[in-house]
Structure 1
Amino acid sequence: MLKNITQSSIVVLDQDEALDFYVNKLGLELHADQDLGFMRWLTVHVPGDPERQILLEKPGPPAMDEATAAQVRELVTKGAMGGWLCISTDDPQKSFETLKARGVEITDEPSEKPYGTDFGIRDPFGNAIRIGKLNPPADA
């Protein structure tokens, strides 16, 4: 049976810029940076959670041909194809202040919602990221 998600990907246009953003600004950790010949396998993870990795994937082979990759790059550049991540934190306000001080683009300040407290940021390529603390389930 299925157990858990171990890897997901988001589209980035420049893997070096993505690595700098996700590690140095957001605070994730580098998991793998390997030249596979046909692509660069670049993954990061939340500190303490190496089982769940995010592939910072540049449009192109082997996932798509060059014509499709060009279309994807155009859509990403226009902000029309951003991916989406949701990352948990114990202290949304402190995380917000830290990221704001690091110059991260804030799209939504921390606020209470029915599901918890969170805020929004965007990576350099238009990918939306929500950071917050979820309320415990009602039956817990």
Structure 2
Amino acid sequence: MKIHLSSVCVDDQDKALRFYTEVLGFVKKHEVPLGEHRWLTVVSPEDPEGTELVLEPDSHPAVRPYKEALAKDGIPVTSFAVDDVHAEYARLRELGVEFTQEPAEMGPVTTAVLDDTCGNLIQIAHTNQVP
């Protein structure tokens, strides 16, 4: 068994697609019209057949209060692996991305938390090298 899909609920699918592709560097995999919304997924360019991230509309009544509560408490909805959090933090800051947590070493990992502009906090992380 492996993870096939994971969702991030977004307040605007067009804005999310731009952010997740043009800023974070993911690649659009599927875009299927479904009424007023779309089945919209992105993947890592490093693993185009890997886990797809669904940019899910947050229109269900339970979703927005959940997202707001997580964001208010500073809790990321998901985490993305990067090779170097410090380098990715610098690259994304240059692109205007806002962070709620600067890079911080937390035992075996280094993390940072960014605002995806669509109502979510996203953690980026890498495993620290053991000396």
CA distance in 1, matches of 2:120, 2:17: 14
Matches within 5 A, 1:54-93: 54-60=53-59, 69-70=60-61, 72-73=63-64, 75=65, 79-80=68-69, 84-93=77-86
Matches within 5 A, 1:43-58: 43-50=41-48, 51-58=50-57
- 2:88 maps to which of 86, 95, 100: 95
Deviation for aligned residue 1:54: 0.8
Identity %, equivalent residues: 37
Question: What's the TM-score once normalised by structure 2's chain length?
Answer: 0.82
Equivalent pair of 1:79/1:125 in contact (CA under 8 Å): no
Which runs of 5 or more structure 2 residues have no equivalent in the other structure? none
Deviation for aligned residue 1:135: 3.9
Question: CA-atom RMSD, angstroms?
Answer: 2.3
Detail structure 1 runs of 4+ shifted over 6 Å in the superposition: none
* Structure with greater strand share of residues: 2
Q: Which amino acid aligns with 2:69?
A: A
Deviation for aligned residue 1:4: 0.9
Which runs of 5 or more structure 1 residues have no equivalent in the other structure? 61-68
Equivalent pair of 2:11/2:119 in contact (CA under 8 Å): no
Question: What's the TM-score once normalised by structure 1's chain length?
Answer: 0.77
Aligned length: 125
Please tell me whether Structure 1 or Structure 2 has the larger radius of gyration of its CA atoms.
1
